[in-house]
């Protein structure tokens, strides 16, 4: 039995920490885990299959498309939803058709809303031809309100020049549509208000409605304070946390900036957990700066926290923020990251992953210094991160680095050096395509 097979078996462990640790390790194996996963999936319990689908969301691969499509079409609600999310992580040319095929036969409101949100996200990104089907769903009065609101929330990410079709459909629907006030508010949020192009009569009707608004059952999904309050009071419930996280991830760019400005290290763990994924891969400098400030606030909170268990949980969230900043391609919090790496009794896995993304030659000493405090598995992860950094360093600088390192660390590093002839980065410490220093 291979190591990957053992990790797949551990996904069904009753030990939550062990199962989640196995998931993190499989994500690092990446494409090598796909074939064993496909073989293990049919006979695995639902808890393990749910984690396998979460892994497939993080490791998109064309080989898993048949499994994802069959699970999305016929499986328990939770697994169908996870399969849909994994489909949405595939490149648009694969996910577009699969999601459109899955939508007509899906009757569960939550799963249907997830599909609509993913399609709307594609409509605002690389595949604008999806916009018409999404608008059909948004303006179909027979669709359940959560499905229509899912389309509305994700359409908030449209670029202003793409708002014209939404505007025209809104003019056709008129002021009688129950979502008309929310759609109008969305349009007014664009940098250039496209409502100026509406017929005068329709505009007057909506202006009159604004003076005497009709009562609504509940606020819209774009109400950030309401979502944060819900996370604080009921964020421990997985279903509630999922709904809030999905709403926040659908926020348009300016609203995400506003949410970043609200980040507060004193928030309960349930709020931090629900909010952080909103910023995954976000390269916006002001957002990254707000996340860097959050790491410093969490560090101060950890120093003051008398409860060791809560302190450990806060450290895990701080490491997660470091990883988010690294995924955005930034080294804004590199000093704080290295402090956390030195201070942690057992370095969190996310800190190691963050350095694998943005680490440079000068960071190797701190990374290698954590080896003696790590178990066998984490030592392997640190070695992989070190190899990733080495691959970004030119040979001449690498030789100087070996000479400057303490002898014990230099001996650790020598076996990790790439073989002669291996291609290196075009520039020293190159941060990679699309990343900023």
Could you give the residue ranges of the DSSP H alpha helices within 277-430?
A: 285-304, 308-327, 334-343, 349-358, 364-369, 376-390, 395-404, 407-413
- 224 in a structural domain: no
What mean pLDDT comes out for the span 381-405? 79
Q: Could you tell me the sign of the dihedral formed by the alpha carbons of 109, 110, 113, 118, in that order?
A: negative
Residues 6+ apart with CB under 8 A from 91: 60
pLDDT band at residue 374 under the 50/70/90 scheme: confident
Instruction: Dig out the tokens for 269 from the structure.
Output: 């763990």
d(CA 364, CA 270): 34
Residue 61 domain flag = no
Mean pLDDT, rounded, for 225-242: 77
**Confidence at residue 419, expressed as pLDDT on a 0 to 100 scale:** 45
140-173 pLDDT, tens digit per residue, is: 877 888 788 777 766 665 555 566 666 666 666 6
pLDDT at position 331 over 50: yes
CA pair distance 221, 293, nearest whole angstrom? 27
Tell me, yes or no, whether 99 lies in a domain. Answer: no
Query: Is there a domain that residue 393 lies in?
Result: yes
pLDDT greater than 90 at residue 294: yes
DSSP secondary structure of 116-158: HHHHHHHHTTT-GGGHHHHHHHHT-TTS-HHHHHHHHHHHTT-
The CB-based long-range contact list for 61-65 (8 Å cut-off, 24+ gap) reads: 61/31, 61/34, 62/90, 62/94, 63/34, 63/35, 63/38, 64/34, 64/37, 64/38, 65/90, 65/94, 65/98
Q: How many domains does the chain have?
A: 1
- Chain-centroid distance of CA 385 in Å reads 21
Residue 358 covered by a domain: yes
Mean pLDDT of the chain: 76
Does 266 map to a domain?
A: no
C-alpha 321/C-alpha 298 separation (Å) is 10
- Which helix (H) or strand (E) segment holds residue 69: the answer is helix 65-73
Q: What pLDDT sits at residue 162? A: 60
Residue 252 lies in a domain: no
Domain containing 423 equals 319-437
- Does the residue 368 lie in any domain? yes
């Amino acid at each position: 039995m291979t190591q990957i097979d053992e990790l797949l078996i551990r996904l069904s462990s009753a030990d939550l920490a062990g199962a989640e640790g196995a998931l993190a390790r499989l994500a690092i194996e990446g494409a090598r885990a796909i074939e064993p996963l496909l073989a293990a999936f049919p006979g695995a319990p639902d808890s393990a299959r749910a984690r396998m689908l979460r892994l497939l969301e993080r490791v998109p691969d064309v080989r898993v498309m048949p499994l994802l499509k069959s699970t999305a079409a016929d499986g328990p609600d939770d697994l169908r939803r996870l399969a849909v999310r994994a489909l949405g992580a595939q490149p648009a040319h694969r996910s577009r058709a699969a999601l459109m095929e899955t939508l007509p036969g899906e009757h569960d409101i939550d799963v249907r809303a997830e599909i609509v949100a993913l399609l709307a996200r594609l409509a605002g990104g690389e595949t604008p031809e999806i916009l018409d089907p999404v608008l059909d769903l948004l303006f179909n009065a027979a669709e359940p309100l959560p499905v229509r609101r899912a389309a509305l929330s994700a359409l908030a990410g449209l670029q202003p020049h793409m708002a014209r079709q939404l505007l025209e459909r809104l003019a056709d629907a008129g002021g009688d549509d129950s979502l008309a006030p929310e759609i109008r508010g969305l349009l007014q949020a664009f940098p250039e208000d496209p409502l100026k192009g509406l017929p005068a009569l329709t505009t007057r009707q909506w202006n009159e409605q604004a003076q005497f608004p009709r009562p609504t059952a509940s606020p819209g999904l774009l109400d950030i304070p309401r979502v944060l309050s819900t996370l604080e009071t009921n964020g421990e419930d997985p279903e509630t946390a999922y709904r809030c996280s999905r709403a926040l991830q659908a926020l348009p760019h300016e609203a995400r900036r506003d949410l970043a400005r609200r980040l507060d290290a004193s928030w309960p763990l349930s709020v931090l957990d629900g909010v952080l994924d909103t910023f995954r891969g976000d390269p916006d400098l002001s957002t990254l700066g707000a996340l860097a400030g959050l790491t410093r606030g969490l560090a101060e909170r950890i120093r003051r926290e008398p409860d060791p268990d809560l302190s450990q949980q806060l450290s895990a969230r701080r490491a997660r923020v470091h990883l988010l900043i690294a995924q955005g391609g930034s080294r804004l919090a590199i000093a704080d990251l290295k402090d956390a790496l030195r201070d942690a009794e057992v370095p969190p896995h996310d800190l190691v992953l963050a350095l694998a993304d943005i680490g440079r030659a000068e960071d190797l000493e701190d990374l290698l210094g954590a080896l003696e405090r790590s178990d066998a598995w984490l030592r392997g992860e640190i070695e992989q991160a070190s190899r990733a950094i080495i691959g970004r360093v030119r040979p001449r600088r690498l030789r100087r680095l070996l000479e400057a390192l303490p002898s014990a660390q230099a001996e650790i590093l020598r076996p990790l050096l790439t073989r002669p002839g291996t291609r290196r980065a075009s520039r020293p410490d190159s941060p990679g395509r699309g990343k900023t220093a």
